[in-house]
Structure formats: structure tokens, C-alpha cells
Structure 1
Amino acid sequence: MNNDFNREKPIYAQLVERICSDIIKNRLAPGMKMLSVREYALEVGVNVNTVQRVYKELEQMRLTETKRGQGTFITTDEARIQLLRQETRRRIVEQFFHNMNEFGFTKEEVLAEIKRLGADTHD
């Protein structure tokens, strides 16, 4: 696993984002059992306390649930996963438009380019 952490952002927040990304990409499917806190800490090379914070955050976000004596599981709440997808898409698009604006591109220029690129791809 890639452990190149960004120094600008807390490691726990980066791990939460990584797991959210894995849920969106279905690498972590609904109902799937996650690694134990210790196993995940070893896998990503961080302190157990950091992973405990990550798992607590994911549970507060209602993306995981902990079953006493069984472990932590990805939520099976499809509506919650869809909300995560929507929130992530919105955040990425907002950041994209912000970055393009920083370069001086107008929203109209960006949308025209997106339409042009969309016309060039034949899915």
C-alpha cells in the first residue's frame, strides 16, 4: 500500500479519505469486514492510536459499524454510500473549478472544454 502521506494534512484524515475512496470504488464492498485496528496499523505503517481514530471517524460518518466481538464492517446502507459518492463528486468538482479559476479560466471556457472532451470519447 502507498504510504506517502502529505505533511500538510493529518495522517488520520488521509486514511479516512483513502478508505472512503475504497468504498466509492467498491474495493471495500458493503458488509465487508475491515482489517482489525492492529492489522491496518501494520499495513499502513502508522500508530494503532491513529487507526483507532480513523475507525472512530468512519463510524461517526456512518460508513462503518463495529460489531462487538466480530470486528468492523463497511455499512450496508446503500443510501449512505450514495451520499458519500455525491459529497465526494461535489467536493472534487468544486476543487476542480477553483483550480481552473486560479489559472484564470472562466466557467464557460471550462464547460466548453469538458463538452469537447466528452464528444471526443466514445464510451
Structure 2
Amino acid sequence: MQLHISSADGVPIYLQIVNQVKYLVAAGRLSPGEEMPAIRVLAEQLLVNPNTVARAYRELEAAGLVEKRRTAGTYVSDQGSPLARKERLRILTGRIDALLAEAAQMNVPVEEVLKLIQQRLSALESSRPQE
């Protein structure tokens, strides 16, 4: 699991960990039942205090994204699917908002943006190998 922490971006480190783990689950790069790194291991990898990682794990557990198993570590929750879907939609919503804002700044009508999206979808579908 690769996380990238920045002390310069103004977001608390524990929250950066939480957000990145949510993204990894939503993107399917962390699967239900997959073991999370131990708190001390991740803290050493990220060069942060173990309490920071522990706080992030508590937040993730409260959100139902991970679960602690006694003496066995922390695992991605099997119940994470609805949250993962919600997180995927949140990520896509942000990207759509950015696209629409950029289109508005360029004076491109929404109808043209939708037409372009449809064209790109058609191009993607035609380039995929047939099963």
C-alpha cells in the first residue's frame, strides 16, 4: 500500500491517510479482507508518529471501512462496499464539477461537453477487445 503524505498541503496527516485509504478501497486497489499494514510499520514508512496512524485507523474503523481483529491486525472490512461506491461517486462528482467549471471558463456549452463525453465513450468501447 503506497500512501503519499505532504506536511505542506494544510490537511492533517491522519486525514490524508484516511482519504487515501478511502480512495484505494473505492478504486479496488484495497480489497475486502485485505490486511492493512501494522500501525508501527506504516508510521515508519510514512515517517510519522504511530499515534497519527492509529488515529487514522480509528477514523477508518468508525466509518466501517476497516475492522480490527484481535491479535490479528487491521483488515479492510467486508462491509466496505457501500462506502466504496459512495466514495467512487464522490470522486467522480469532484472531477465532473471541475470539468464543468473548466468548460464554462472556456465558453463551451454543456451540450458540447456531453457530446464530447459520448464520443469518448464510443471510442473507448470500440477500442476494447471483444469477449
TM range (shorter): 0.7 to 0.9
1:54-73 equivalences under 5 Å are: 54-73=56-75
CA distance in 2, matches of 1:106, 1:87: 28
Corresponding position: 1:44 with 2:46: yes
CA distance in 1, matches of 2:42, 2:17: 10
Cα contact 1:33–1:71 (8 A) shared by 2:
yes
Which deviates more from structure 2 when the two are superposed, residues 91-100 or residues 44-53? 91-100
Corresponding position: 1:87 with 2:86: yes
Q: 1:114 aligns with which of 97, 113, 117?
A: 117
CA distance in 1, matches of 2:66, 2:44: 20
Letter matched to residue 114 of structure 1: I
CA distance in 1, matches of 2:3, 2:75: 22
Structure 2 alignment gaps of length 5 or more: none
Cα contact 1:31–1:74 (8 A) shared by 2:
yes
Which structure is larger by alpha-carbon Rg, 1 or 2? 2
Cα contact 2:36–2:76 (8 A) shared by 1:
yes
CA distance in 2, matches of 1:65, 1:4: 23
CA distance in 1, matches of 2:16, 2:71: 27
Q: Which runs of 4+ in 1 moved over 4 A?
A: none
RMSD between aligned residues: 2.1
**Identity, % of aligned pairs?**
30
